[in-house]
Amino acid sequence: MAKETPTIRPDVEADYTIAEPFQLERGGTLPVTLRYAIYGDMERHRDRVVLVCHALSGSARVADWWAELFGPGLPFDTQRCCIIGVNIIGSCYGTTGPASLNPATGKPYGPDFPVVTVGDSVRAQALLLDHLGVKQIHAAVGGSIGGMQALEWALRYPERIRNVVAVGTAPLNAMGLALNHLQRQAIWNDPNYNSGWYKDQPAGGLGLARALAMCSYKSAELFEERYARNPNRNGEDPFASLKARFDIGGYLDHQEEIFVRRFDANTFVTITKLMDTWDLPADDEPLHEMAKRGVRAHFVGISSDWLFPAADVRRAAERFARARVSTSYSELESAHGHDAFLADSHLITAQLNEVLHGGEFCRILAAIAGSESAAD
Amino acid sequence: MAKETPTIRPDVEADYTIAEPFQLERGGTLPVTLRYAIYGDMERHRDRVVLVCHALSGSARVADWWAELFGPGLPFDTQRCCIIGVNIIGSCYGTTGPASLNPATGKPYGPDFPVVTVGDSVRAQALLLDHLGVKQIHAAVGGSIGGMQALEWALRYPERIRNVVAVGTAPLNAMGLALNHLQRQAIWNDPNYNSGWYKDQPAGGLGLARALAMCSYKSAELFEERYARNPNRNGEDPFASLKARFDIGGYLDHQEEIFVRRFDANTFVTITKLMDTWDLPADDEPLHEMAKRGVRAHFVGISSDWLFPAADVRRAAERFARARVSTSYSELESAHGHDAFLADSHLITAQLNEVLHGGEFCRILAAIAGSESAAD
């Protein structure tokens, strides 16, 4: 479906450089420039600014990866709200990351790039919103690492946010930590990685990392439905040699090639680490503050997600509910695994509409219903 | 439990060289020597020979990896039956494999080793049993690739076998094929692999392959229970650097080190391929033959197995049942994932006793019950 949607360009795409060296949570400072994108009219919708947070390989250009949610009557309807996307610290899509030039050396940071956290990106985003004159956001919305940012927003700035929507998001469990560890290892093992000081991408390692990640983003059910035990569609006979592939092998190798062209190995290491280290607060104080301020938290688990199992998402939601935060939990029924927040995003449009446009949305529906009966 | 059990040594451990160059199913011939082990008295239990088939990294020495099933009153009770284990073709534990010397070159076969199948090993095992004078086996038993061999025995030689027990065994689904593909890729990516002509192990690649396999052998539930989001038990702070590990990372790295010392990279490639290519027969003819001969097929699915999901094992069992093979299906309830056939083997002793010793087993129980009441 995404492929059929014409590209929606942001109305604004710009960089914002934080004036002072930015203090990182895990120690050290970093000069930070944030790449952000704005869809719609921020002045007109100052009371309805929606921060949409991206996942591992996403960017500030929300409509590039969540196109199905944009359009009239859809959640990201720029006639009804203003969407802001901000590339996270550590990424390779415009914001300061390992591939950026280190002003101290004039060369890319590479492996010298510090450990950054979800909290770092969220604090930087808050400075950007100050700069843009946005005092309060109507909602922070995201899937996966995007959901981590959205939740972190509510936990840190409950006075600045009304709603948070987190899809397929929970603190990563031991299996998730295991898979991320092995993905980084695949990169580190590649001699082209050269301890992070590569000129050409360590394509083998980064590709393998991506393919393993793809296995964790999808589901066994989907793979079975699409690839089963079929021989590679290129005609290869998987029985002919040790290297000959089944269809799923061809698919994964293809995914590797695409990804290696558009992503950076040090960035992959940095962002999987940021994904690992994110957790909910140890005590409930920030949740109580959310409750006091009336921030609503909406959690969506994905039925076939085994990277962030629905049960983990539900457990997180239950903790918020116990702390008296106004909380909802629902489940996205999909065979797409973790990736469903992108691949089956049409299944959450009604819910997002309700959260983002609530009463207004109901009025629109009523108006449509009225016009229909008038036409009858 | 295995660690507390003293090592049980086989009564016979020997090699058998097949006289003629062995014709392989996928083409070519191979001079084959099989390493086998016998526990118990084959002459005395000629009518109760149990072939126990090993999985990927196992060997002919069944008691080294299935120790809990050996002993008085247990399924592999050498007073009641004779156990034979045979190392599969392609392995590195005594039978001809990639690490064996190629007589044509005087060097290890390495990557020149041909594609071998489960069927090849089973046909070779049949020749060994001819040589040992064993006309019929009471049962073939195995988990994972061992179960594939056991089923293949029944499908090929229904006249020579009474029972087959396959635990956690089904044709590998697309997710399983995907994970095996990536494991081989981890090895191929390692420059020390040198296209298979290594002197020193490609330790990084083989280790990564093993660690990924471990993730597929265990379950998310078990990892969470044991490692959760704990920092590495060696005191490492996972937040300190990109390389610093959580506990699960330390565990996986440790598993890598152990495995690299005891296994061979070309062997790993060869055996994962053999695992990939095994499938049930396209038509039901061999199943009808099993039915006609009265071979009983016992399938055990493992509740938390995501490499060979219980549903896949059940589906295989249902096919046998539909073809009128006397079939049972049961589920091993365990959090250990695929590995439960080893880690929780005590949960299948009663069932194995029933299959292997049926009436006799009941008589023993009755006798014990009788002696107990006599003692009262």
Q: Exposed (0-12), middle (13-18) or buried (19+): which is A233, by Cβ within 10 Å?
A: exposed
- Crossing angle for the helix pair B174-189 and A247-262, to the nearest 10 degrees: 60
Q: Do the strands B49-53 and B82-86 form a parallel or antiparallel pair, or are they unpaired?
A: parallel
Which H/E stretch holds residue A29?
Answer: strand A29-30
Question: Mutate which of B187, B208, B222, B315 to test chain A, going by most A C-beta atoms within 10 A?
Answer: B208
Question: Mutate which of A25, A192, A208 to test chain B, going by most B C-beta atoms within 10 A?
Answer: A208
Q: ipTM, 2 decimals?
A: 0.92
pTM summary value: 0.93
Question: What's the distance, CA A2 to chain centroid?
Answer: 17
Residues facing B83 on adjacent strands: B39, B50
Scanning chain B, the segments in alpha helix (DSSP H) are 62-65, 118-132, 145-156, 174-189, 203-217, 220-226, 247-262, 265-277, 285-293, 310-322, 340-343, 349-375
Residue A338 annotated to the active site: yes
Q: Which of A370-374, B109-113, B336-340 has the lowest mean pLDDT?
A: A370-374
Cβ contacts from A onto B, under 8 A: 151
CA distance A176 to A313: 14
How many CA atoms within 13 Å lie on the side-chain side of B278? 30
Residue A331: DSSP 8-state: E
How many CA atoms within 13 Å lie on the side-chain side of A376? 6
CA distance B364 to B30: 46
CB contact under 8 A, A171 and B229: yes
| Catalytic residue chosen out of the listed positions B305, B312, B339, B344 | B305
| Catalytic residue chosen out of the listed positions A77, A120, A247, A305 | A305
Q: Is A269 on the interface with B (CB under 8 A)?
A: yes
End-to-end CA distance of chain A: 32
CA distance B206 to B129: 34
A239 Cα to chain B: minimum distance (Å): 7
Q: What is the pLDDT of residue B2?
A: 44
Residue B69: DSSP 8-state: G
Q: What is the pLDDT of residue B375?
A: 36
Q: What is the pLDDT of residue A7?
A: 85
Q: What is the pLDDT of residue B28?
A: 94
CB contact under 8 A, A227 and B306: no
CA distance A203 to A256: 8
Q: Is A276 on the interface with B (CB under 8 A)?
A: yes
Q: What is the pLDDT of residue A358?
A: 85
Residues facing A326 on adjacent strands: A296
Which positions in chain B touch A111 (Cβ < 8 Å)? 242
Which positions in chain B touch A223 (Cβ < 8 Å)? 173-175, 178
CB contact under 8 A, B115 and A270: no
Q: What is the pLDDT of residues A164-210, one digit of tens each?
A: 999 999 999 999 999 999 999 999 999 999 999 999 999 999 999 99
Q: What is the pLDDT of residue B292?
A: 98
Q: What percent of chain A has pLDDT over 70?
A: 94
Residue A303, both tokens: 């039925």
Residue B278, both tokens: 């095994």
Mean pLDDT of A344-368: 77
Mean pLDDT of A87-110: 97
Q: What is the pLDDT of residue B366?
A: 52
Q: What is the pLDDT of residue A2?
A: 44
Mean pLDDT of A276-296: 98
Report yes or no: A332 and A344 within 8 Å, Cβ to Cβ. yes
Tell which wins on pLDDT, A375 or B130. Answer: B130
Q: What percent of chain A has pLDDT over 90?
A: 93
Q: What is the pLDDT of residue A372?
A: 42
Mean pLDDT of A210-215: 98
Residue A15 annotated to the active site: no
Q: Which of A169-173, A215-219, B140-144, B354-358 has the lowest mean pLDDT?
A: B354-358
A215 Cα to chain B: minimum distance (Å): 7
Q: What is the pLDDT of residues A36-84, one digit of tens each?
A: 999 999 999 999 999 999 999 999 999 999 999 999 999 999 999 999 9
| Catalytic residue chosen out of the listed positions B264, B338, B345, B357 | B338
Report yes or no: B134 and B140 within 8 Å, Cβ to Cβ. no
Residue A276, both tokens: 């690992």
Q: Is B248 on the interface with A (CB under 8 A)?
A: yes
A87 Cα to chain B: minimum distance (Å): 20
Dihedral of CA atoms B215, B216, B219, B223 in degrees, nearest 10, equals: 0
Residue A66: DSSP 8-state: -
Q: What is the pLDDT of residue B7?
A: 85
Mean pLDDT of B255-283: 98
Q: What is the pLDDT of residues B320-346, one digit of tens each?
A: 999 999 999 999 999 999 999 999 999
**Residue B287 reports pLDDT greater than 70:** yes
Q: What is the pLDDT of residue B358?
A: 86
**Residue A367 reports pLDDT greater than 60:** no
Q: What is the pLDDT of residue A302?
A: 98
Q: What is the pLDDT of residues B31-42, one digit of tens each?
A: 999 999 999 999
Which positions in chain B touch A189 (Cβ < 8 Å)? 186, 189-190, 204-205, 208
3 state DSSP class of B204: helix
- B185 φ/ψ angles, rounded to the nearest 5 degrees: -60, -40
